[in-house]
């Protein structure tokens, strides 16, 4: 068996920092990266033979856990027929229909290959549709590694949940602002819920100044309910960005919305966007299978595997961790909605990036190191989200709570 240390050193020869995505380095928790060999259900196994209960779930992608049998069966069937055609296949239309039926604001859709590609394409479309060239975005919301969101000349930035600032900035600069882009539920500074009327207020302001409202639901899409966050909060954006769950474990992204806007995309319009692997049959088949399974859970099944079950299980875990924290005098705030949650070692409510930054990161690192040694894998950063899948069991929850209890007594 090759030692993890040797795997890390070899990876560093070829990849910056030894990884292909920064958070995988585990630097945020002062640890070394893991190398995953396999995953099944709620568990992953590493190359050095260790097993973990996984609450990362490929960063929220795997609603049915690792290596779901039905998804694998559908993918294996398609593998025999081809992996990529570079031309249109029937599965694209089938998945598009299912998504558009589930999310009525998405009247038309374009498949791409990542969340970043979805958000950048949606913003480019908003620029061309409105004739304006600025974005209004919120501090701490991550919309992909693009200069559109990193170069300050492209955007105005205000705190998440600050409707007053949004109103003021838009009133002053509306002639420049093409779009407001927001995660309905923030997931990239930890889970942060929208305050009452925040999303609805953005809708009203955007309507007033004819600004495109974009919901980045790359994480949120199909996570807390079948119709996604916009259905839960009853606020319709003009454009929606999706990813993760709709690919069933394969690389994917999508953006869509009102027909009058989407028809500006080539070849119907002159906003050019293209991709060799967009709508590839493997991803589409995995996505169709996933959405079908989620639709069954929504409508109910003999097994009772519905959104309520997974959401209640998450709530049970979070409430139990809160109780253990109270017993051991550990200051903690847990933000949870549906099957996503984050732990913040702090006393104050966490409602934006500034309040998230005031958490005790050193304590989180100590907690993370200890819980990791007990076979529990939370997302390796105090500014990331955790997820429960339909594969997680009551036993997983009980073990996690038990280990958390012991560790809180040592913090």
Name the CA radius of gyration of the chain, rounded.
Answer: 21
Give, in degrees to the nearest 5, the angle at Cα 62 between 382 and 236.
80
End-to-end CA distance of the chain: 34
142 is catalytic: yes
395 is catalytic: no
Task: Choose the catalytic residue: 142, 155, 160, 368.
Answer: 142
179 backbone φψ class: left, alpha, beta (φ>0; ψ -120 to 50): beta
Q: Say how many C-beta atoms besides its own lie within 10 A of residue 312's C-beta.
A: 12
Residue closest to 342 by CA, chosen among 361, 326, 370, 369: 361
Q: Say how many C-beta atoms besides its own lie within 10 A of residue 85's C-beta.
A: 11
Continuous segment of H or E residues that includes residue 8: helix 4-14
Structure tokens, 60: 């929220």
Q: Say how many C-beta atoms besides its own lie within 10 A of residue 246's C-beta.
A: 30
Structure-token match 């979070």, residue found: 318
Task: Choose the catalytic residue: 98, 244, 293, 365.
Answer: 244
> Within 13 Å of residue 194, how many CA atoms lie on the same side as its CB?
22
Task: Choose the catalytic residue: 54, 68, 216, 306.
Answer: 216
Residue closest to 363 by CA, chosen among 346, 338, 379, 386: 346
340-344: strand order across its sheet = 333-337, 340-344, 386-387
* DSSP track, 360-398: -HHHHHHHHHHHHHTTEE--SSTTS-EE--TT--HHHHH
Residues ≥6 apart with Cβ < 8 Å to 341: 191, 314, 317, 318, 334, 335, 385, 386, 388
Residue ranges of alpha helices (H) inside 104-252 are 115-130, 147-150, 163-173, 198-209, 228-233
SS3 at position 192:
strand
162 is catalytic: no
299 exposed, middle or buried (CB, 10 Å; 0-12, 13-18, 19+)? exposed
Q: What residues are annotated to the active site?
A: 142, 216, 244
């Amino acid at each position: 068996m090759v030692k993890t240390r040797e795997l890390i050193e070899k990876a560093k020869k070829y990849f910056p920092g030894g990884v292909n995505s920064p958070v995988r380095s585990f630097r945020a928790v002062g640890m070394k990266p893991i190398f995953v060999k396999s995953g099944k259900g709620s568990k992953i196994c590493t190359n050095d033979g260790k097993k973990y209960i996984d609450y990362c779930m490929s960063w929220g992608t795997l609603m049915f856990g690792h290596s779901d049998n039905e998804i694998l069966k559908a993918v294996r069937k398609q593998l025999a027929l081809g992996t990529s055609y570079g031309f249109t296949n029937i599965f694209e239309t089938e998945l598009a229909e299912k998504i558009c039926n589930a999310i009525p604001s998405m009247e038309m859709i374009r498949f791409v290959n990542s969340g970043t590609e979805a958000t950048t394409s949606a913003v480019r479309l908003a620029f061309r549709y409105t004739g304006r060239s600025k974005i209004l975005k919120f501090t701490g919301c991550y919309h992909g590694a693009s200069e559109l969101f990193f170069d300050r000349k492209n955007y105005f930035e205000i705190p998440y949940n600050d409707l007053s600032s949004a109103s003021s900035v838009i009133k002053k600069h509306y002639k420049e602002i093409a779009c407001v882009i927001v995660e309905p539920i923030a997931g990239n500074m930890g889970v942060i819920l929208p305050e009452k009327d925040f999303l609805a207020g953005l809708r009203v302001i955007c309507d007033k100044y004819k600004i495109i409202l974009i919901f980045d639901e790359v994480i949120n899409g199909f996570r807390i309910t079948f119709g996604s966050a916009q259905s839960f909060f009853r606020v319709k954006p003009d454009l929606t960005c999706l990813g993760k769950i709709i690919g069933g474990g394969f690389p994917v992204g999508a953006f869509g919305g009102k027909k009058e806007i989407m028809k500006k995309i080539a070849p119907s319009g002159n906003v050019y966007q293209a991709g060799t692997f967009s709508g590839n049959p493997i991803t589409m088949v995995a996505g169709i299978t996933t959405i079908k399974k989620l639709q069954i859970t929504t409508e109910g099944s003999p097994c009772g595997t519905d959104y309520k079950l997974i959401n209640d299980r998450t709530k049970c875990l979070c409430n139990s961790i809160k109780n253990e924290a109270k017993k051991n005098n550990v200051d903690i705030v847990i933000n949870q909605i549906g099957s996503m949650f984050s732990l913040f070692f702090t006393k104050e409510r966490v409602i934006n990036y500034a309040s998230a930054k005031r958490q005790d990161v050193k304590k989180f690192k100590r907690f993370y190191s200890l819980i990791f040694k007990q076979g529990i894998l939370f997302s390796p950063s105090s500014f990331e989200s955790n997820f429960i899948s339909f594969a997680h069991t009551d036993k997983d929850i009980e073990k996690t709570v038990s280990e958390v209890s012991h560790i809180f007594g040592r913090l």
